[in-house]
Structure 1
Amino acid sequence: MNAKQFTPLMILLCTLLSLHASAQSYAFKVLGSKGEVTANGTPLKVGSTLSSSQTIKIAGTAYLGLAHNSGKTLEITQAGTYKVSELQKKVTSGNSSLAGQYAKLVINELTNAKAKNNRFNQRVKTGSVTRATLTESPVQMMLPESIKALDGNITLKWYLKEEADTSETVRYKITVKNIFRDVLLEAETEQSQFNLDLQDGELKGNKALLYTVTVVGNEKLSSDDHVIKRLSNKEKAEIDEALKAFPDDESAIGQLILGTYFEDKELYANSIYVFEKAIATSGIEEFKSYYQAFLDRNYLSKKSREQLAQKF
């Protein structure tokens, strides 16, 4: 066998080695940065890459979210000086878990927001969007009339139609009932959203819940009845098992990853809750854009719902 016969094999090996080297050419990629955050004197922004030889400096109140080349994520919220080589020791290489797959999806979307196949540019499946998504009521819930939800915390959002708006400060009353229309919970807020813990008090154990939002002092300004359905035992068991693959991570990035998983399972109220936690704990503009894209593509924002209404 002469040298020429080895040429194709050599080319293949060189290509594979080159691809491997390219994948490992950086230690971390920046997912989010706020405040005075630099690496070797250079300010860090989303998409910046870090090598193991660099040193990060964080001054004052700041935030830095990183993605390791393995797909694992890391957050730094304390001021100080950090060697990238030391940060690498805090993450283990390789991530084939379900959480790892969603982590890589989040990383790709945050760092490649203009990619053609990016989910920022996609809409929810057309088969799941109907006229029933919208109502004529003065208070518009930013969720379908019937949703499924996983036990735990969810967030309900709404807006008051412009023609029904008032010049005074508006307070809303949230009423939650069981299927027999017994009132289980009543609460008031000046915000246009409300968090519910489905495991709390009388809400716990109900297979389905009805809820409405009404303007305090004007019962005519109200939403239609909306429904929250708990998952079946089989559905809940499958998701509970899947969630074991996710780390017990309260970080902003961890919440983005979890919210993305919930979106794929169409657990929109659960998604909203964890996405808003991510924004509240980090304040990163790119995270806000990620969340807004989720709302828009699933017709859960005022703008997207108004656009949907024009189609009918």
Structure 2
Amino acid sequence: MKNLAQMLKKTTLMLAFSAMVCVAYGQDEVFKVLASKGDVKLKATQKKLWGGSSLKSTDVIVVGTDSYIGLMHSSGRTVEIKQAGSYKVSDLAGKAAGAGSSTTAKYVNYVAGEISKADRRDINQNHRKYMAMTGAVERANPSPNLILFAHKPNAETQEVKVFGDKIIFHLYKNPISQFSEKSKTYVVRVLDMKNRPVLEKQATADEKGEAIIELDFSSIAKHDSSFVVQPSVKELQSKDRKLYTLNFVREGEEYERVKKAIAELQDNTALSKIVEAGIFEQEGFLLDALTSYEKAIAMEPSVDAFKVAYEDFLIRNRMKLYKDKDEYGKPTLRPYQINPDVKDEDLMKPEAKVEENTNTQQPANNDKKDTKKNSK
């Protein structure tokens, strides 16, 4: 009888412990909110969901009309919701957990951190985050009239490593140039290493003097791994054209690692493109990262968080330049940098500020109530 009682006691303790583990596991974070737009909130508290918010399996999300929320599962998989309605997090987790994206999960923290910060910032105030820094002189390496969004300081010929076959080139007016490219024709020519033309594409510049050109290297990259890119303005007939060398990575440990991480994303959504951009940036494929950002914004143009994250990416990697003068008074180019004097909370959207202030004030109010109770 004594042994039986001890066994029953141990069994009861084990069952109780198991129940506690199950409850704890059920309350663990399963999703991180990366980006949101419009009316998106928790059903239980009616609290608005922002980038960085955590979701548990017991939560229910309410998405309003013309709203959007992008989630990242702990496995690295992404989920987008654009249709109005209520969604159980447990149901969303069941669909996202099956892939087991162990490789992609390594990049999750970085991507989640960057896009979550971007989601809370007001895009109209975001320019305050950047500043013109007077540092070392940057040579005007690109064409006198055009700049690709791919810039390496102090390099005569810019070499860029590339992963994907389809690459977007974002061209804009060189700040040093006195020529206005508005409505002009931008041309991107691609040459092989024997100086033979293999690709060419044109686009008309918009009101800002910018243009997007996408080139498909899938057919020619099978035979060669390096190409020269030559941007120009058709109307100028300029002979002084600076070059970019693209080196396609098609084998090795680095290639296999990135290939596996990208394959595990699976979904062709704007949010997966943002994660893809983060993977490329961390591995040094900056032109591929730029391409992924551009595609994400094209897919969801109304989600400001993607645009803010893109701007941060360009500044962070010294890929956006401004006009300045060198020590001799001659025009030169310098990269914008992050302004250390402007804090993220100063750029937050009004709704986010209100929510944050409410959260920080609440404990103080509780403390006052507790103090009154204790005094009684």
Into which bin does the TM-score normalised by the smaller protein fall?
Answer: 0.7 to 0.9
Q: Deviations over 1:220-276 (max 9, x none)?
A: 286412111122643675346544762322122222222222122221111111121
The alignment's TM-score, normalised by the length of structure 2, stands at: 0.63
SS of 2:52 mapped into structure 1: coil
**Alpha-carbon offset, residue 69 of structure 1:** 5.0
| CA RMSD, Structure 1 to Structure 2 (Å) | 3.7
Per the alignment, residue 88 of structure 1 pairs with 93
Of 121, 139, 149, which aligns to 2:162? 149
Per the alignment, residue 296 of structure 1 pairs with 315
* Alpha-carbon spacing, 1:211–1:130, altered in 2? closer, same or farther (3 Å): farther
- For structure 2, which runs of at least 5 residues remain unmatched after alignment? 1-19, 120-128, 130-135, 152-157, 206-210, 324-331, 338-376
Contact 1:199 1:205 survives alignment (8 Å):
no
Of 174, 185, 196, which aligns to 1:182? 196
Question: CA–CA distance in 2 between the matches of 1:52 and 1:309?
Answer: 42
The alignment's TM-score, normalised by the length of structure 1, stands at: 0.74
Letter in 1 for 2:236: N
Contact 1:156 1:194 survives alignment (8 Å):
yes
Question: CA–CA distance in 1 between the matches of 2:249 and 2:221?
Answer: 14
* Alpha-carbon spacing, 1:221–1:160, altered in 2? closer, same or farther (3 Å): farther
**Alpha-carbon offset, residue 173 of structure 1:** 1.4
**Alpha-carbon offset, residue 172 of structure 1:** 0.7
- For structure 1, which runs of at least 5 residues remain unmatched after alignment? 1-16, 115-120, 122-128
Per the alignment, residue 81 of structure 2 pairs with 76
Of 250, 258, 263, which aligns to 2:281? 263
1:97 aligned onto 2:102: yes
Per the alignment, residue 46 of structure 1 pairs with 51
SS of 1:246 mapped into structure 2: helix
Letter in 1 for 2:34: L
> What is the aligned-residue identity percentage?
25
Letter in 2 for 1:220: S
Aligned length: 279
Question: CA–CA distance in 1 between the matches of 2:26 and 2:87?
Answer: 23
Of 222, 226, 238, which aligns to 1:220? 238
Question: CA–CA distance in 2 between the matches of 1:53 and 1:309?
Answer: 44
* Alpha-carbon spacing, 1:139–1:90, altered in 2? closer, same or farther (3 Å): same
Per the alignment, residue 225 of structure 2 pairs with 207
**Alpha-carbon offset, residue 27 of structure 1:** 4.3
Contact 1:72 1:103 survives alignment (8 Å):
no
SS of 2:38 mapped into structure 1: strand
Contact 1:213 1:222 survives alignment (8 Å):
no
**Alpha-carbon offset, residue 25 of structure 1:** 4.7
Per the alignment, residue 180 of structure 2 pairs with 166
Contact 2:187 2:232 survives alignment (8 Å):
yes
Question: CA–CA distance in 2 between the matches of 1:137 and 1:178?
Answer: 23
